[in-house]
Amino acid sequence: MPNRTSQTEHSNIKKALARTLAELFGDDRVAANDEEIDRTADALRRVHRLSASTQIRSAQASNS
């Protein structure tokens, strides 16, 4: 079960996606449905949360 912070993040990402879709394709022509937007928002939240720190650490190690 996502916690409150995750739910807020998810909701914000979802709103941003829906807004950008409407701006790009026009409100009445968007084929993307709520489920598609919802699942994509969840994916973006998860990717955002995952740490890519190993990349940074290995870059630091090779530079030191």
Give the binding site for other proteins (CB under 8 A).
Answer: 17, 20-21, 24-25, 30-33, 36-37, 39-40, 42-48, 50, 52, 54-55
Structure tokens at 61: 């190690």
CB 41 within 8 A of CB 8: no
Q: CA separation (Å) from 17 to 5, 9, 50?
A: 18, 12, 20
Q: Least distance from C-beta 12 to other proteins, angstroms?
A: 13
**Least spacing, CB of residue 49 vs other proteins, in Å:** 8
CB of residue 4 vs other proteins: minimum separation in angstroms? 19
